[in-house]
Amino acid sequence: MSGSRITVVLVLIILAFDVSQAQTERQRLEKEKQEIQDRILETQKILSQTASKKNNSLGRLRALNNQIRSRVSLVNAIKGEVTLLDEEIAEDQSIIDAMENDLNALTDEYGQMIYATQKTSSGFNQLTFLFASGTFNQLFMRMKYMKQYGEARKKQVEQIQIVQQSLNEQIVEIEEQKSSKQSLLNEELSENRKLSNLQSEQRSLVTKLEQQENKIRQDLARQRASEKELSDRIDAIIEAERLAALASAVDMSDINAAFEGEKGRLPWPVDQGFVSSKYGKHRHPTLRTVMLTNKGIDIQTTKNASVKSVFPGKVSAIMSIPGQGNTVLIQHGEYFTAYSKLKAVVVKKGEQVQAQQVLGQVLTDNNDVSEVKFKVFDQKTTVNPETWLERKIN
């Protein structure tokens, strides 16, 4: 096989491999982008509900913050696609350059063959060349030579056609890639404008909320008091349940193992929503000197959203605390999950519930914010619920 033909084969192999790799990466980016866009639509729906009565609320600020994070992620995903296309275009251009070089080399080789044939054939025809053989063996060798030379010319033509076709296909592909890149750049520009508008609204809202510091501090004090009351009651119920299980020597190893096996894969307690307040300590969104401690996560969702159990278990308690709405506490062996800020509950104490069974509806406050607080308790204390729930891309 000639050097040109070897190069052509290698180029085609590399091309097929690169296309497969690029398609895999592009599919991953497309999937990620679609998930982000889904989250944006969810948050937009939640954001529109918080605007129906009062614009100046912490719930609206949290929805705006989440929308901005999602928009930033979307812009970054688009940039990733553009970078990938730039790399593909550069790779394809190098392949086109290699193919053009091979095509020129093959054409030159074919031209030299034709020239050599014409030069050899000048002054006599093929029959004269054959019958001029001195021996039968020489005649046989001349016939074999002519056949091989003819086949070589035919293969050279076929090779030129293969390279030319591949080159044309690659040129079409690179033009499509450039068109896709321009579409993505236009999309990125549009998303950047939307992001800029959201950031402007965010700054304006923060300024307005900072002017309501006294009211926010009073609301925060009431919220902390109601959360402590709820937390104390839940702790007491869990402790009583554990003592009862210990006294009865109930084996909970199987259900404990089953619950632990779902870590990172538990369904969310609501179908739509985002984490508006994370687990643990973090700074207040407008009171910069105030630190908040959250023993669960707050999930902002849509009005009248159904709140569901994340795992099979027994309803240990149903309680109502002013400021926290109704709370459902479910036991899963030595683990517990708590669902607070419900306006209505459709299960009863002692009832066995299944995963994704509806427990009640989310409560909507005076600012049109619909938010459920979700907690997970292990054998000792609360743990970060986000590490137990299936991951959502912001």
pLDDT tens digits in sequence order for the chain, 394 residues long: 445 445 555 555 555 555 566 667 777 777 777 777 777 777 777 777 765 445 567 888 888 888 888 888 888 888 888 887 777 777 777 766 766 676 676 667 666 666 666 555 554 455 555 555 556 566 556 566 556 655 655 665 666 667 667 766 777 777 777 777 777 788 788 888 888 888 888 888 888 888 888 888 888 888 889 989 999 999 999 999 888 888 887 888 899 999 999 999 999 999 998 998 999 998 888 877 788 889 999 999 999 999 999 999 999 999 999 989 999 999 999 999 999 999 989 999 999 999 999 999 999 988 888 999 999 999 878 999 999 999 876 5
Tell me what pLDDT residue 53 has. Answer: 46
Domain that holds residue 154: 3-210
Q: Are residues 113 and 199 in the same domain?
A: yes
Tell me what pLDDT residue 44 has. Answer: 73
Secondary structure (3-state) at 191:
helix
Tell me what pLDDT residue 335 has. Answer: 95
Query: CB burial class (10 A; 0-12, 13-18, 19+) of residue 97?
Result: exposed
Q: Are residues 206 and 221 in the same domain?
A: no
Q: Are residues 172 and 265 in the same domain?
A: no
Q: Are residues 18 and 159 in the same domain?
A: yes
On whether the CB atoms of residues 330 and 314 are closer than 8 A, the answer is yes
Q: Are residues 30 and 64 in the same domain?
A: yes
Q: Are residues 180 and 221 in the same domain?
A: no
Closest CA to 356 of 304, 302, 311: 311
Tell me what pLDDT residue 295 has. Answer: 93
DSSP 99: H
Tell me what pLDDT residue 123 has. Answer: 44
Tell me what pLDDT residue 52 has. Answer: 46
On whether the CB atoms of residues 340 and 324 are closer than 8 A, the answer is yes
- Single residue among 179, 210, 241 that ends a domain in this structure: 210
Report the CATH number at residue 240: 2.70.70.10
Q: How many domains does the chain have?
A: 2
Q: Please list the alpha-helical segments (H only) found in 249-338.
A: 253-261
d(CA 165, CA 109): 19
d(CA 6, CA 265): 50
Residue 394 included in any domain: no
Q: Are residues 239 and 254 in the same domain?
A: yes
Tell me what pLDDT residue 297 has. Answer: 95
- Single residue among 210, 238, 265 that ends a domain in this structure: 210
- Single residue among 160, 175, 210 that ends a domain in this structure: 210
Q: Which two tokens stand for residue 141?
A: 């060798």
In the block, which residue shows the tokens 């894969």? 265
- How long, in residues, is the chain? 394
Q: Are residues 180 and 251 in the same domain?
A: no
On whether the CB atoms of residues 63 and 276 are closer than 8 A, the answer is yes
Paired with 317 in beta bridges are 329
Q: Are residues 238 and 328 in the same domain?
A: yes
Q: Are residues 104 and 179 in the same domain?
A: yes
Tell me what pLDDT residue 374 has. Answer: 97
Residue 246 included in any domain: yes
Q: What is the pTM of this model?
A: 0.66
Q: Please list the alpha-helical segments (H only) found in the chain.
A: 3-50, 58-121, 126-131, 136-210, 213-248, 253-261
